[in-house]
Chain A
Amino acid sequence: MYWEPDMECMDREGLQQLQIERLQATVARVYMNVPFYRKKFDELGIDPDDFRSLDDLRRLPFTIKNDLRDSYPYGLFAVPLRDVVRIHASSGTTGLSTVVGYTKNDIKTWSNLVARVLTAAGVTKDDVVQIAFGYSLFTGGFGLHYGAERIGASVIPISSGNTARQIKIMQDFRTTALVCTPSYAMLIADTIQEMGIDRNSLSLKYGLFGAEPWSERMRQEIQDKLKIVATDNYGLSEVMGPGVAGECLQRNGLHINEDHFLVEIVNPDTLQPVAPGEVGELVITTLTKEAFPVIRFRTRDLTRLMPEPCPCGRKTMRMQRVMGRTDDMLIIKGVNVFPSQIETVLFSFEGTEPHYQIIVDRKGAMDDVTVQVEVSESIFFDEMKQQNELIKRIKSKLASELGIGVEVKLVEKKTLERSEGKARRVIDLRKI
């Protein structure tokens, strides 16, 4: 099932023609309407009229989150405020929030792109979609809401929080699709078990999860516990919100809506393009945004492109699920460590629960890392000897994966803080 088959299944040549047309128009518009870009282009001696191929994109400067903060609140808008019908702000996971705007057309485009993502994930007009993303300045709630309405599904705008009520409504309203962060889906699944609710009393079929990185193992857990098909989707408010990319039912990489977003993968240190298929930082240029176009926005998200054709028939490029963020990247004893690497190792052991926390501290001049992971009751109340055995095995696997030694601590189920939004995985206590 496709939402816009002519766009999603367009041949490469047609797509590239459309991309260059839209890119040239976008570059001309930002140069005309956004002083920030005009100044930057002029400083670098870039004439927007010299912009002739998709490769010329590389000559343009990057835009970073700080540029958005420096222009707080409306400095980067490309249209007057009276043409803006919606204002969102980034969730501010790290640092200050940034403000973005949408014209009437932007909202229309956004709804359509989210409709594509929902359709690819199996959702149709017959579904009852429970949106447990926060409805706020955060783009997740409203983005998915408009997309689901566009499809014609029945939307429950429950927002996040109050897990018991989420589950009651899920039962009573016969919800068929759940939309939230993967960590909240986990919490809902656990709560359903604790409340002793029979999974078969629910009508859930699909789960669309996003807004934070998660692992394949976590997908398995959620799918098994909730008996649903769980897909990953990707977006960020600076670029638009959800709807940038999403998995199809193959669940192997996220289809990027390339007719609206031009993507590059660069090495986060050198900022040069990586070899095809290599992991690097995702950089996005918007092609159709009216109110808030961005040129080469550095997302800080790490992924790789998957140019192989997808059996689902969509011809758009896929990206691998986000493996981490460059700013999540911990430099421990000089080694780059991503929380997602630790997560993958933890979850490869029997008896661990998908809840963990990484605590980084400094003892003297040395970095010190402790990974706390929840384990099932049977293990926790096991003999000390067996616990120690498990710790030893986890430690040795982490050491071989990360190249540094870390402490591992097993904790009882539900001792780590649960989140209704994005999970807080890393606590960095170092004062440098």
Chain B
Amino acid sequence: MLRIKNLDAGYGRLKVLRHVSMHVSQGEIVTIIGANGAGKTTLLHAICGLLRNRSGEMLFDGADVLRLTPEGMVFSGCSLVPEGRQVFSTMTVRENLLLGAYVQHRKNRRHDDRGDLEKMYGLFPRLRERERQLAGTLSGGEQQMLAIARALMARPRLIMMDEPSMGLAPLIVKDIFSIISRLRAEGNTVLLVEQNAKAALAIADRGYVLETGRIILEEKAEDLLLNRDVQRAYLGRDVDAETKI
């Protein structure tokens, strides 16, 4: 579905990504793990066009999308759930969702949002309860659900999520990850960037390890969980202490 070859990206003269090659196939959850500053968010921004300073090869469903604007990317079916939610806090939950559907209206003047809204409320019952509430008054977990639902309103074929668990209470984090699993079960394709590598690898099919802008490992998620380097660096397991016994 998404195929990237030798993607370089950066800010000004600062190069962040170095010839990143990766792919996401239909129906997969692929996760990118890496330390702070490894370039995970930069990678997502380069894919969805928010970062223009990039070069390489990027195909989405076989079409070259490297020159597309962020808006163009959403049109072609790739939506981002940004880091830190970024909901429109002075608008209601419903208004936030409707904004997410703007591409549907552009594509079809007679588009009716009701079906999609119902679907979102079915997926996230909390949002129905808070339908008329201002988004800024929602809890962190609810805002995250809103951000995901807003992205889904564009009916994307690929959903990219940037740190969806960030700053959330452990119980809420569990909810969010089970929602992501559910999205996949319903046929969605997800590219997930997470600091919480353990939780991300637990639901993902495959993973890439990004280190200082380079991909240094590509493996099945279950194998990455077994990789001792990954355990040491990202899963917080003190393997050395364990082996000393």
Contact = CB atoms under 8 A, between A and B. Distances in A.
Contacts of A22: 218
B228 interface: yes
A289 to B, nearest CB: 11
Contact of A52 (B19, B25, B217, B218): B19
A82 interface: yes
Contacts of B243: 82
B178 interface: no
B5 interface: yes
B5 A25 contact: no
Interface string B1-37: 0010110000000000011011101000000000000
B69 interface: no
A152 B18 CA distance: 43
Given A104-B226, A290-B227, A29 B19 contact: no
A220 interface: no
Bin the interface of chain B by size: 20 to 34
B238 interface: no
B209 to A, nearest CB: 8
A25 B229 contact: no
B118 interface: no
A24 B19 contact: yes
A79 B217 CA distance: 13
B160 interface: no
B25 to A, nearest CB: 8
A109 B218 CA distance: 13
Contacts of B208: 21
In this complex, the interface size class of chain A, counting residues with CB under 8 Å from chain B, is 20 to 34
Contact of B215 (A24, A79, A103, A108): A24
Given A17-B3, A17-B5, A21-B23, A79 B228 contact: yes
Contacts of A49: 18-19, 214
Contact of B218 (A21, A51, A82): A21
Contacts of A158: none
A21 B239 CA distance: 28
A109 B219 CA distance: 10
Contacts of A290: 227
Contacts of A14: 23, 25
Given A17-B3, A18-B23, A79-B228, A25 B18 contact: no
B223 A105 contact: yes
Contact of B5 (A20, A32, A105): A20
Contacts of B229: 79, 83
Nearest to B217: A25
A82 B25 CA distance: 35
Interface centre among B3, B223, B226 (most CB of A within 10 A): B223
B227 A21 contact: no
Given A20-B21, A105-B226, A290-B227, A25 B215 contact: yes
Given A17-B23, A49-B18, A105 B219 contact: yes
Interface in B173-230: 208, 211, 214-219, 223, 226-229
Interface in B223-245: 223, 226-229, 239-240, 243
A17 B22 CA distance: 8
A236 B243 CA distance: 31
Contacts of B228: 79, 82-83, 103-104
Contact of B21 (A21, A32, A288): A21
A21 B56 CA distance: 14
Interface in A51-84: 51-53, 79, 82-83
B23 A28 contact: no
B227 A103 contact: yes
B64 to A, nearest CB: 14
A17 B217 CA distance: 14
Given A20-B5, A105-B227, A25 B216 contact: yes
B216 A17 contact: no
Given A17-B5, A29-B216, A105-B219, A24 B21 contact: yes
Contacts of B23: 14, 17-18, 21
Interface in A21-53: 21-22, 24-25, 28-29, 32, 49, 51-53
A113 to B, nearest CB: 13
Given A20-B5, A103-B227, A288 B219 contact: yes
A17 B23 CA distance: 8
A47 to B, nearest CB: 10
Given A17-B23, A24-B21, A51-B19, A108 B223 contact: yes
A285 B98 CA distance: 52
Nearest to A51: B19
Given A79-B228, A103-B228, A105-B227, A29 B21 contact: no
A137 to B, nearest CB: 24
Nearest to A49: B18
A17 B21 contact: yes
B131 to A, nearest CB: 42
A20 B215 CA distance: 11
A105 B208 CA distance: 15
Contact of B216 (A20, A32, A52, A79): A32
Nearest to B215: A25
Contacts of B22: 21
A256 to B, nearest CB: 19
A21 B6 CA distance: 9
A20 B22 CA distance: 9
Contacts of A29: 216-217
A265 to B, nearest CB: 25
A341 B223 CA distance: 44
B2 to A, nearest CB: 10
6 contacts: A20-B21, A21-B22, A21-B23, A22-B218, A25-B216, A49-B214
Given A21-B23, A25-B216, A290-B227, 18 more contacts: A17-B23, A20-B21, A21-B21, A21-B22, A24-B19, A25-B217, A28-B216, A49-B19, A49-B214, A79-B229, A82-B240, A82-B243, A103-B228, A104-B226, A105-B223, A105-B226, A108-B226, A288-B219
Per CB-CB distance, the 5 closest pairs between chain A and chain B, nearest first, are A83-B228, A21-B21, A52-B6, A28-B214, A49-B18
